[in-house]
Amino acid sequence: MTEILAALLVTLGLAFFIAGSIGLLRLPDLYSRLHALTKADNVGLGLLVMGLALLTDDPFIALKLVLIWLLVMAASSASAHLIAQRARRRERGT
């Protein structure tokens, strides 16, 4: 039962990653591409981590997985912000 749930969560997470990658390739401008990427990082990785955490018996490993998710979220949102800010400044020509 746990394994089926874990497989479902991982598959759902992968779907977000695929959608994010397609968005990165197909969306017209930088801001909407960033928007697509953050979905993969936040929700996709979150679902993946939840699925993988269900598969381990060791709560310490599950905690480490959650920590990875939190770190990736912090880093990806901060870098998305920096990239967008830089692009915005360039557009304004400052």
Q: Does 86 bind other proteins (CB under 8 A)?
A: yes
Q: At what angle do helices 59-92 and 30-39 cross, to 10 degrees?
A: 170
Contact track, other proteins, 49-78, x by CB under 8 A: ----------------------x--xx--x
Number of residues binding to other proteins, judged by CB under 8 A: 8
User: Applying CB under 8 A, does 85 fall inside the site for other proteins?
Assistant: yes
81 binds other proteins (CB under 8 A): yes
